[in-house]
Amino acid sequence: MKPDEVRNITVVGAGLMGHGIALEYAIAGFQVTINDVSSDALEDAWKRIRESAHLMQQFDLIDAASAESALSRIHAAVDLESASASSDIVAEAMVEDLEQKSRVYHRLDKICPAHTIFASNSSSFMPSLMAEATGRADRFLGAHYFNPPYLIPLVEVIRGKDTSDETVELMTAILLRLGKTPVQVRREVPGFIANRIQAAVWREILTLIQDGVATPEDIDRVMTTSLGRRWTVAGPFETTDLAGLDLKLAVLGELLPSIASSPEVPHVLREKVSRGELGVKSGIGFRGEWSPERIAETRARLAHALTTIETWTQHE
């Protein structure tokens, strides 16, 4: 199958990520069917899709006519067979449960045409683990989006040990058509690229809080007023080339012995979770209480910043 022959997309799992992935494919002109376990879940997905389309209009990412056209290309189906029987690409965005994913992939393998590509949005499971439930490991890969998927350009394309070059090339071409920035993960590792980097940063900042070095508020200020701003336009390797590798060698030699390296999650996070302080979903987190007004303001601020950055950032 060639990229220009791809017509029908099935999104399995219409929750936090799935609804946004479905909207992106629809905006790009594909026919999209979203599938989930219940009509209630699909109704909620439709609500989120419309809200996301409205938000994109607010920030001039699409116009009203394009939004309505995209919505007309999205359909919903609780039945997995009717949702995926004619699919060219299945974009899976289910909960992170390997057993559940494997059961669904086993069914999809029997339902979908032989040419169908399976692209998992899993942020933790390696493609080869899920591909074992199918007879098409050569047409199975990871396509890991980031939240919110319609505002974050990156998609990690994760090659399984048996994924064919043709599958990687086709998926990359489709993602480029969506306006995404695909980056290939050339070898399977847990967490891929972005989440491994985030995990390393999180281990250190949680340790800084735990050891009384800084507050969550000040760590957020450090990230948003220095590293975050710089890395938006030039990544760590580019900025280090500008500064000098000899300087980086000297700094790392001094700091690495004192950087957190424990394989255990810092207890400050475990304590928060045990108290039910989960962030927005429980109304309180590291940054204090979250009222509905504060949640809406923060999300709008983030969306505005991301769309503004997109207008002046050049992606390779």
Does the N-terminal peptide bond of residue 3 adopt cis geometry, omega within 30 degrees of 0?
A: no
- Which residue out of 87, 92, 122, 156 is catalytically annotated? 156
- Are 9 and 32 in contact by the 8 Å Cβ rule? The answer is yes
Annotate 264-277 with b (16+ C-beta within 10 A) or e (fewer).
eebeeeeebeeeee
d(CA 258, CA 67): 51
Q: Is 54 a catalytic residue?
A: no
| Helix extents (H) in the chain | 18-27, 39-58, 64-72, 80-84, 98-111, 127-131, 165-177, 194-210, 216-222, 228-233, 236-243, 245-255, 267-274, 292-312
How many CB atoms are closer than 10 A to CB 199?
13
- Which residue out of 8, 35, 121, 144 is catalytically annotated? 144
Whole-number Cα distances in Å, 68 to 24, 31, 73, 173 = 13, 14, 9, 25
How many CB atoms are closer than 10 A to CB 240?
15
Whole-number Cα distances in Å, 243 to 203, 230, 239, 247, 252 = 26, 13, 6, 7, 14
Q: Is 121 a catalytic residue?
A: no
Q: Is 115 a catalytic residue?
A: no
Q: Is 96 a catalytic residue?
A: no
- Which residue out of 66, 69, 86, 123 is catalytically annotated? 123
Q: Quote the tokens at residue 143.
A: 């396509």
- Are 160 and 131 in contact by the 8 Å Cβ rule? The answer is yes
- Which residue out of 106, 164, 195, 204 is catalytically annotated? 195
Q: Which among 128, 122, 124, 133 has a CA at the least distance from the CA of 99?
A: 133
Q: Decide: residue 175, CB within 10 A, 0-12 exposed, 13-18 middle, 19+ buried.
A: buried
Residues with catalytic roles: 123, 144, 156, 195
